[in-house]
Amino acid sequence: MATRREPNAQLRALLRESGLTQEACARAVNAAAAEIGLQLGYDRTAVAHWLAGSEPKEPVPRLVAEVFSRRLGRLLTPASLGFAPPADARGAAAPGAAAALAELSRRDADPLEHARLTRAPYRALARVPGWAEHTARAATRPEHVRVGASEVALVRGAVGHFATAMDVHGGAHARSALAVYVADTAATWLRAPATDVVHRQLGVESARLVFVLALMHADMNAHGLAQRYFSLALSLAGEARDKEMWATTLRAMSAQALHLGHRMSALHCAEAAADSVAGSAPGAVRAYLYAQLAVARAEVGDRRAADAALARAEQSVQRDEGDGPFDTYPMGALAFQAAEVHSRLGRSGAAVRDLHRSAGARATLDRRGLVLTLSRRAELLLASGHLEEACASWAQFVRAGAGLRSRRVTDAHTRMRSALRPYGRHAAARPLLDGASSRDL
């Protein structure tokens, strides 16, 4: 822990503004660390040391900034809390997307470096990324291997393979293999000589591949690393001039922000994503964008706008046909989003009905989606007082989720056990408490 020369007045002022005690602040930092797999044991004395002028080691200043950003509803950085800015934020020039992707994916493929990267905290967005800032193409592609349509087809096939692997087995499955593939193949081909058409096609497929890798990390609660990959997917899509993929990535960033409690960032990203393609995108893309926009609007209590966005999503998906992971938006996924809208607007009955519909519509290969749907349905049923129905849904959840390597599924197991503990003597709940265990993935 580094030592400053004077007390940290900025941190003290923010403590007062937030209403957090020193003990509550320490607990919140510990909880934020747990989200990225880092176990901390801070108490009020640690916060007292920070107030006196000491500085914790990275990534703790970023975690403290995240805690206050969530609490106060605006972006705060380590510097705005009176800490020194992180070493990686001190003026280094940003490399092009392909070079940055090569560097990050190579580190991610190394087990020791991966462990460090997954401990990087998520950073609240200061603003919504703009389309124009991502459209500057790299001037040179120095690699000696020339690429063409066959390389584009290979990357496209890899997108489908890894997306399916995540749906069937969870985000931890094949994650390291995908990182290696991105580092050794996709990032290399992105810098190789090619025609403009081939390079743009390769950029789009690489953006999709990086998007899948970001989803894998988000599924494992490595949100800081997932955010970095999402940002690279934005840049790749921008360089390829593919606004649909750019909007698709921004929509996923909205979902991540909402999952982490950043409601307004989530709404602004969802609005920008939907506005950027308007009616020009295929139905699957429009449905995907408007479904998230509906959830984000429901989260802030805008009932009319949420219902309007959901209606547009449902109208769009009915007219769409496609068979690839980025060419279609399954009805099971849309029904899950509809349930989230209704749940946030206090319509629990409609939410449960949509979750029934979602579970029934899930494709055989979408095992992860089905398991999370069953968990969410059980939680809403229990909240509505339907214990036996909730236990039946959780029993399906446990059976269907066996072997899934997903932190989100592990978290759902933990929530199930916590919710059912008061009903431990009930015949329907007891087997779930006795038989289900939360695995540390």
Q: For residue 422, count other CB atoms closer than 10 A to its CB.
A: 9
pLDDT of residue 94: 44
- Beta-carbon contacts of residue 42 (< 8 Å; ≥ 6 apart): 26, 27, 29, 30
Tokens for 313? 């999503």
Q: What own/partner pairs with CB < 8 Å and gap ≥ 24 does 304-308 have?
A: 306/341, 306/344, 306/345, 307/341
Complete DSSP assignment for 78-122: TGGGTSPPPGGGSSPPPPPHHHHHHHHHHHHHSHHHHHHHTTPPP
pLDDT of 145? 59
Number of H helices, E strands in the chain: 21, 2
Torsion of CA 207, 209, 210, 213, to 10 degrees: 160
Contact (CB, 8 A) for 62 and 123: yes
Q: Tokens 């360089």, residue? A: 239
Please tell me the pTM assigned to this model.
0.80
**Residue appearing with tokens 């994650």:** 175
8 A C-beta contact, residue 254 and residue 292:
yes
- Candidates 24, 21, 3, 2; CA nearest to 12 is 21
Give the span between the Cα atoms of 36 and 51, in whole angstroms: 25
Report the distance separating Cα 184 and Cα 161, nearest Å. 17
Provide the pLDDT for residue 439: 44
- Within 10 Å of residue 19's Cβ, how many Cβ atoms? 9
All residue ranges of the chain with pLDDT < 50 are 4, 88-94, 138-143, 437-441
Q: Is 366 helix (H, G, I), strand (E, B) or coil?
A: coil
The model's pLDDT over 247-256, given as tens digits with 9 standing for 90+, comes to 999 999 999 9
Residue whose entry in the numeric block shows the structure tokens 């989606």: 369
How many CB atoms lie under 10 A from the CB of residue 148? 16
Q: What whole-number distance in Å separates Cα of residue 350 and Cα of residue 79?
A: 45
Q: Residue 91 has what pLDDT?
A: 39
Of the chain, the end-to-end C-alpha distance in Å amounts to: 30
Using DSSP, state whether 350 is helix, strand or coil. Answer: helix
* β-bridge mates for residue 3, sequence order: 54
